[in-house]
Structure 1
Amino acid sequence: MERRLSTILFADVVGYTRLMGEDEAGTLAALNAFRKEVFEPRITGVGGTIIKRMGDGWIARFDNVSSAVSCAIEIQKSLLGHASLKLRVAVHIGDVTFQEDDIYGDGINVAARIEATAKPGQVVISDMVYHSLDSHTAQIFTGGESLQLKNVSRSVAVWRWPAELSIENQISDHIQTPVPAAPLSEKPSIAVLPFDNMSAHPDQDYFSDGISEDIISAISRLPGLTVIARNSSFTYKGRAVMIPEVCRDLGVRYVLEGSVRKAGQRVRITAQLIDGRSGGHVWGERYDRDLEDIFAVQDDV
């Protein structure tokens, strides 16, 4: 468990439940494309880290306040004129606690609360963020109104960009055009799901996760093969999933899944490759080895 002061970016999709009800396949395809092509590359491209993914949003952490704010604005600009996808984005500086793959604390609570006050297409920032910006960046934000947020003991001043939404955005909020589902990739593409820990001790999760991560790293070096990043495939950790749905969500043709059982100095790894179109098994294998041979097993897979 680690506690520290961090710059937090909180974003969610406006009207996610409604969009899913109207066109689930199209919404998932649009979100997946936006996530892979715009949102996450923009975050990581300026030094940010995706901390948590929800079905309708993200939490990211930055070491630099200006980078977080500039990134938030660029993400919103990328969606100008989009027929259906709209985001609310907030940036806040606060104390957060990191524990394994989760994050919580007062900083997260405040970020979530001020994000809820944003209009679709807006970026909102707290007063602490505002006063950390250079004058050139700060001047594009307006507001500064003090809000009493739910379950937050103190009032928080909030600043907004842009001050008012364009007529185009206001109209498009009420007009939804279904987004066609993206087809499965025609070129070889694969997602490696986190291998299940079949050992008696839950603390061996790190071992099975390491196996999956090393396999991802190894096959990502193969030319002509698209490999989904670890951060995306690991969102399915611990969940019962339907492989065709995973392939559709991630836009891949194949999924590699498996399990790891460690006992003493012996390890058993099972792996199977599944076709996302048919749901059929393309390949499967079981490896029983000594721990000292673990890297050889990864190479074999």
Structure 2
Amino acid sequence: MAFNPKPDRDTVRFGKFALGLVDRRLTCSGQPVKLSSRALDILCELASVPGEVVSKDRLMEKIWPGRVVEENAIQVHVSTLRKALEIGSDGHSYVVTVPGRGYRLVGLENGPDMPAYSGSGDAPARGTTVAVLRFANLSGDSSQDYFADGIVEDIITGLSRITGLSVVGSTSSLLFEAGSGDLASIGRKLGCRYLVQGSVRKADNRLRITARLVESDTGVALWAERYDRRFDDIFEVQDAIAMSLIGALEPNLRKVEISRVRRERPNSLDAYDLVLRALSSMRTTMPTGAGEAIPLLEKALVLEPYYSAAQAQLARCFQIRFSRGGLNEADRATAVHYARAATRSDDATALGAAGLVIWFADPDFSDAFEVFHRALSISPSNVVALGNSAFAHAFMGDGKIALQLAQHALTVSPFDTLIAHMAIAVTELHANRFDEALRAAARAVEANPSFSVPQVLLTVALVRLGRIEEARSAAERVLNLDPTFTMPVWSVTVRKNPAVFDPMAQAWSQLATCS
């Protein structure tokens, strides 16, 4: 796209279009475009403040002064305007709905909404960058465009809170719609590695939302999900779906990025890639993996001394080493130090991880629940914060809260299930619902067969159900994974409420007394 360094202030240009503000004439590649007078009025009003939000009240006041007009009149004429602009849009949408606020004209030459492209027409890659494209409205009702745009805006806002992830602003990404062109080209133009595509279909009182995460260079789908909801309250549905998508996208992006850094050997490791490599080593949550991760995280903090994600994961590593590597006081103190440092951030994932370390290792562990609360205030669908908070509440005996948090975690990310199922197992054991505890523990084992704690919970549930031989086999697996495991050692970090922990210890000891 060729930019004019000295634009004519009486002419607004976007894509192939030019709008004369004096003669009120719209052209596309030099050819006149026919618009209704009201649609042209709206376009001129948007173009008079390029890139800014124009409220519906202002449009009413300017276009229908002194008249009482139904609000949907604006939607009708905006829909007409959008259809007229489709002829030269190349899949872009130049009139964007800002939910609850109004409309904007975007994609202007030299405007605030266009990326600063290089001479090749491509924006430079910016590390782990994602763009959420405009969701396609498949309802056959253009008045529903605002709903699709609102979901996209909410997803962008939520993803923007994730440290280590760069999110393309809506004014650029909403220029492209799912299926609007070559994905590799869109990715290069927006300077991003990943794209989120989606669609919205409304029929009667039902909504179907689809979303998928794709790699822009290859077009390979990395994750996909479908949501079917009732349409009773459009804004509640919009919020719920956006939160679900954010909750699912974050852990899936994290998994994809971990896979990427394991495949690649970059010439220069930055702090973010070091954290991803550390997470790959930590996946067993055992001391050996933690030991591999610690130097990577320490290097990350040399590069970025206040990097909260590195601080939180380093806290986890030292806590793992403390609880499963000999109860060394220096490891405990170091874990608490880094966890406390991470709580200075506004990264929900870092806060969720730091909160659990504080609960495990800090004598003043009650602060952990304030940290969890902050994390969930920032991002209510953050799976790390939900799962870790559920686990801590379960061992405190707060079963109702634990189940609510764990079920929410499983709803927003049904494949990121380890700690949520562990929390459910602990809660059900405390409530003497042993069949439910066994099912939850088995699912936690499936989620991470290399982690000893789910096997402990499985053993306890089997003992409580009187299935002693199966319990012995499960206990053997625990000791194969962690030869140092004993209930007294485990009690150092999780025995916050004896009424929850002591029956587990009694069940474990029962194996030694059964002939």
Fold-level similarity (TM above 0.5): no
TM-score tier (shorter): 0.3 to 0.5
- Bigger helix fraction: 2
Rg larger for: 2
TM-score, normalising length: structure 2: 0.26
> Greater relative contact order: 1 or 2 (C-alpha under 8 angstroms, separation 6 or more)?
1
TM-score, normalising length: structure 1: 0.42
